[in-house]
């Protein structure tokens, strides 16, 4: 009981900074992995629902997918690809930590490789995607 | 006699100190909790004059001895061996006796609080019992079925001894276990320290109960709870590669033997 009490009452004073554990790359990669994982789960929920509409009729499916064609969903798609790309790359890093005998030793450098590859992928994807999203939005 | 010998160099140092080493004032912000009066912990500031040779533990002593005698913390050997004074210093688990104040950012206040995830008893003292209960559960003692040759020890090669050398260094300070995000939210998890001490016997060629320990750790709350955040490895004051040790135990469970 005192554990929970102490935890929930943290950061009640004006100095919450000291109570956040300052982990390094490993901890933040885990936090990001969790956040992106939950976000992808909620996307999949919506994605399954909109795919089910295809069973009703192709026209109904087109109508549902048509509503996604706006800039807000376009930005959401960018975030989705960003989340999936990170989750996938960091997933490979976690597999290597678990199954490669030197994985734990090189986990920190592997995290930065994940970040670099992720940035490169996003640089290739985001500008083209966003140009499409905003040019189509104005054209239609 | 022995006192005189011990005092002589200390006095010599003290007389040199004013010219040689400059003192400075540092602010410590300590998370206080007195179960008799407080319902929740609160932060309290202390200004302490310290030398560059002082550790966080020395600053805590100065506060307790000269400013506020009610400040409560554990320490025993004060030299990084007994593992009593693990605490969260500037947001990271460390031993107060192995952390030089000058190595921290002394321009800013130093935050000191109890380790996380164990029941807070008073100020910087937590109830270590759940931690030791996990430790006992992995049977951290030699279990050999064979008897050694009459009047002789059990022979072990250098390579066999090196196999578990890293995990013999543990001092049970709980810095690793209380740095683990999984342990914070799931107190049932064995935690890094228990797994490290299981590793020490699982890979010992003289021990015959590896399988028992692997079965104990092949549990929902065992090694599979590890999410490889590496907080334990970063926190260990003995430099044990904790996450590596946990990974080796995972591998041994999957292989089916040590």
For A57-101, the pLDDT digits (tens) are: 999 999 988 888 888 999 999 999 999 999 999 999 999 999 999
Task: Please report residues of A whose CB lies closer than 8 A to that of B234.
Answer: 23-24, 26
**Per-residue pLDDT tens over the stretch A35-64:** 999 999 999 999 999 899 988 899 999 998
Provide the 3-class DSSP secondary structure of residue B90: coil
Q: From A31, which residue of chain B is nearest by alpha-carbon distance?
A: B229
Q: B233 contacts in A (CB within 8 Å)?
A: 26, 104
- The candidate with the shortest Cα–Cα distance to B127, out of B142, B140, B116, B111, is B116
How many Cα neighbours within 13 Å face the side chain of B119? 8
Residue B171 has pLDDT above 90, yes or no: yes
Per-residue pLDDT, averaged over B181-197, amounts to: 95
Report chain A residues whose CB lies below 8 A from the CB of B127: 2
A11 touches chain B (CB under 8 A): no
What mean pLDDT is predicted for residues B77-82? 95
List chain A domain ranges: 24-139
Residue B5 has pLDDT above 60, yes or no: no
The architecture that CATH gives domain A24-139 is Up-down Bundle (1.20)
Instruction: Pick B113's closest partner by Cβ from A2, A18, A108.
Output: A18
Q: Radius of gyration (Cα) for chain A, nearest Å?
A: 20
- Tokens representing B4 are 């005189």
pLDDT at B211 over 80: yes
Sign (positive or negative) of CA dihedral B168, B172, B173, B178 = positive
Q: What percent of chain A has pLDDT over 90?
A: 67
Contact status of A12 with chain B (Cβ, < 8 Å):
yes
Average pLDDT taken over every residue of chain B: 92
> What is the average pLDDT score of chain A?
85
Identify from A1, A3, A28, A98 which residue to disrupt to test chain B contact, counting B C-beta atoms within 10 A and taking the largest count: A3
Question: Across the interface, do B231 and A1 touch by the CB < 8 Å criterion?
Answer: no
SS3 of residue B12 by DSSP:
helix
Interchain CB contact of B225 with A (< 8 Å): no
CB contact under 8 A, A20 and B31: no
pLDDT band at B146 (very low <50, low <70, confident <90, very high): confident
Domains of chain B and CATH, by start: 16-126 (3.10.20.30), 129-255 (1.10.1060.10)
Minimal C-alpha gap between B10 and chain A (Å): 36
**Contact at 8 Å (CB) between A67 and B201?**
no
Per-residue pLDDT at A69: 87
Interface test with B, best of A17, A27, A106 (most B CBs within 10 A): A27
Task: Find, in chain A, the residue whose alpha carbon is nearest to that of B179.
Answer: A21
Q: Could you tell me the pLDDT band of residue B4, with boundaries at 50, 70 and 90?
A: very low
Pairing of strands B86-89, B42-50: unpaired
Residue with the bigger pLDDT between B31 and A17: it is: B31
Structure confidence at residue A136 (pLDDT): 66
Residue B115: name the closest of A31, A30, A23, A21 by CA: A21
Query: ipTM of the predicted structure?
Result: 0.83
Helix, strand, coil % over all residues of chain A, rounded to 5:
80, 0, 20
Question: Is the model's pLDDT at B3 over the cut of 60?
Answer: no
pTM greater than 0.95 (yes/no): no
DSSP state of B163: T
**DSSP conformational letter for B108:** S
Under 8 Å between Cβ of B34 and B123? yes
Residue B230: which of A12, A17, A24 has the nearest Cβ? A24
Nearest by CB: A27 against B33, B43, B231: B231
The pairing of strands B24-32 and B120-122 is unpaired
Cβ-based contacts of B113 with chain A (< 8 Å): 18-19
Instruction: Give residue B68's pLDDT band: very low, low, confident or very high (50, 70, 90).
Output: very high
- pLDDT per residue as tens digits for the range B123-141: 999 999 999 999 999 999 9
């Amino acid at each position: 009981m005192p554990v929970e009490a102490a935890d929930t009452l943290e950061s009640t004073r004006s100095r919450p900074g000291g109570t956040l554990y300052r982990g390094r790359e490993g901890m933040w990669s885990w936090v990001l992995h969790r956040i992106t994982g939950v976000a992808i789960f909620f996307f999949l929920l919506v994605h399954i629902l909109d795919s089910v509409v295809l069973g009703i009729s192709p026209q109904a499916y087109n109508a549902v997918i048509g509503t996604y064609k706006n800039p807000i969903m376009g930005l959401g798609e960018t975030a989705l690809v960003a989340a999936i790309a990170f989750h996938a790359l960091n997933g490979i890093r976690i597999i290597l930590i678990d199954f490669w005998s030197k994985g734990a030793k090189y986990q920190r450098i592997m995290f930065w490789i994940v970040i670099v590859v992720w940035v490169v992928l996003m640089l290739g994807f985001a500008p083209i995607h966003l140009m499409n999203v905003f040019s189509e939005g104005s054209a239609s | 006699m022995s006192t005189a010998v011990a005092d002589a160099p200390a006095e010599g140092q003290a007389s040199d100190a004013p010219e040689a080493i400059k003192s400075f004032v540092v602010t410590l912000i300590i998370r206080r909790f007195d179960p008799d009066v407080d319902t929740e912990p609160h932060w309290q500031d202390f200004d302490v004059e310290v030398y560059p040779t002082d550790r966080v533990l020395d600053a805590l002593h100065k506060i307790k001895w000269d400013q506020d005698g009610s400040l409560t913390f554990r320490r025993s050997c004060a030299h990084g061996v007994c593992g009593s004074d693990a605490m969260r210093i500037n947001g990271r688990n460390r031993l107060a006796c192995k952390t030089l104040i000058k190595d921290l950012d002394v321009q800013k206040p130093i935050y000191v609080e109890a380790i996380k995830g164990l029941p807070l008893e008073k100020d910087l003292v937590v109830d270590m019992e759940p931690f030791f209960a996990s430790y006992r559960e992995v049977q951290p003692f030699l279990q050999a079925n064979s008897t050694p040759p009459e009047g002789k020890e059990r022979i072990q090669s250098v390579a066999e001894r090196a196999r578990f050398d890293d995990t013999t260094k543990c001092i049970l300070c709980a810095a690793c276990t209380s740095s683990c995000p999984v342990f914070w939210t799931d107190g049932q998890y064995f935690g890094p320290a228990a797994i490290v001490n299981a590793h020490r016997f699982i890979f010992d060629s003289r021990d015959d109960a590896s399988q028992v320990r692997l079965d104990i750790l092949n549990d929902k709350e065992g090694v599979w709870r590890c999410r490889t955040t590496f907080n334990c490895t970063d926190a260990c004051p003995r430099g044990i590669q904790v996450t590596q040790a946990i990974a080796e135990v995972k591998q041994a469970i999957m292989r089916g033997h040590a």
